[in-house]
Amino acid sequence: MSTARRSAPILLAIIAVLVAVLAPAAGAAGTTAQPEPGPLNPAFVEALHDPLVTLRLGRMPSPVEVHVSAAAGVVAARAAEPTSFDLRALGRLTPVKDQKYWNTCWAFANISALESKLMPVSPEPDYSEDNVVRRTGYFSNMAQRYDSGGWDFMAIAYFARWAGPVDDSADPYDHRAGANGTRKHVQGVVMIPGREGPTDNELIKRLVTDNGALSVGMYMDSSDVNDVEDAGEAYTTYYSPRRRDENHGVDIAAWPDFEDNEDD
């Protein structure tokens, strides 16, 4: 039985992913201005030369830095977001998955953002991270695609050329080739800049409430992880300010009201 492809708009909001590449002014008379590539993000260059930056998690800093108009932030600041919010309570978040020992968190974060954008819907979407990793096209062999890490642009390229998403049942997360078969056509991607400070969260909150889970990068150190697995709970972690370079891809899906929940 054939399945018709359906188009759906998607928002994958990403921290630090946009660069404006401007053509230089025309030079001498008769010459044509040529576009020039934007400068590489220093954090990306460092990660390329220091494999320990990714800490076997898989998130690479974006190759380029983001510089955008402040208009979106002004609009977001005018709207008062709730002091607490949770996509799970609205049925707009798929279950957490295990990336195992491969450096593929970037694929999981972006697939989760796509699934959340489409929800609530029945049946609940479950798309293939394995297909994103295998067909990214950024590395020459499969070992590199699973082990070298990645960034959000790689997932965007996969979605933008309508290579996917593919159902997880068609291509399970097993490092082996599965079936293709695009289930949605991504029509657009929205990107935002990184925060200017720890309280610069209004635009992030607005995007989460309006569009679902937000794919972001963070820095995580193994020493910041509390292992409470024996108590039947999941791992927990917190932001460490010791380094600025991101190494792990996650999704923002909720926030608490710390003033009303002082024990949290």
* Closest alpha carbon to 109 in 91, 93, 86: 93
- List all residues 6 or more positions away from 255 whose beta carbon is below 8 Å from its beta carbon: 84, 85, 201, 205
- List all residues 6 or more positions away from 71 whose beta carbon is below 8 Å from its beta carbon: none
Q: Could you report the per-residue pLDDT of 152-193, keeping only the tens digit for each?
A: 989 999 999 999 999 999 999 998 889 999 999 988 887 787
Q: Could you report the per-residue pLDDT of 29-42, keeping only the tens digit for each?
A: 566 777 777 777 78
Cα–Cα–Cα angle for 60, 65, 248, nearest 5°?
25
Residue 103 has pLDDT above 50, yes or no: yes
Residue 219 has pLDDT above 60, yes or no: yes
Mean pLDDT of 59-80: 63
Confidence of residue 106 (pLDDT cuts 50, 70, 90): very high
pLDDT > 90: percent of the chain: 35
Helix axes 152-160, 105-118, angle to 10 degrees: 50
Residue 203 has pLDDT above 90, yes or no: no
Tokens of 167: 């159902």
* Closest alpha carbon to 213 in 82, 121, 87, 122: 87
Residue 23 has pLDDT above 60, yes or no: no
Confidence of residue 109 (pLDDT cuts 50, 70, 90): very high
Residue 86 has pLDDT above 70, yes or no: yes
Confidence of residue 102 (pLDDT cuts 50, 70, 90): very high
Contact indicator for 128, 235 with CB cutoff of 8 Å: no
* Closest alpha carbon to 8 in 86, 106, 91, 119: 119
Cα–Cα–Cα angle for 3, 146, 112, nearest 5°?
50
Contact indicator for 240, 221 with CB cutoff of 8 Å: yes
Q: What is the pLDDT of residue 60?
A: 78
Q: How many helices (H) and strands (E) does the chain have?
A: 7, 6
Q: Which amino acid is at 47?
A: A
Residue 248 has pLDDT above 70, yes or no: yes
Cα–Cα–Cα angle for 66, 111, 121, nearest 5°?
120
Using alpha carbons only, how large is the chain's radius of gyration in Å? 20
Contact indicator for 57, 187 with CB cutoff of 8 Å: no
Q: What is the pLDDT of residue 242?
A: 59
For residues 205 and 234, give the distance between their C-alpha atoms in angstroms, rounded to a whole number. Answer: 24
The strand ranges marked E within the chain are 6-8, 85-86, 184-186, 214-218, 248-252, 254-255
Q: Where do the domains of the chain lie? A: 7-15+38-255
Contact indicator for 155, 105 with CB cutoff of 8 Å: no
Question: Greater confidence, 2 or 124?
Answer: 124
For residues 117 and 212, give the distance between their C-alpha atoms in angstroms, rounded to a whole number. Answer: 5
Cis ω for the linkage preceding 198 (within 30 of 0): no
Q: Does domain 7-15+38-255 have CATH number 3.90.70.10?
A: yes
pLDDT > 70: percent of the chain: 68
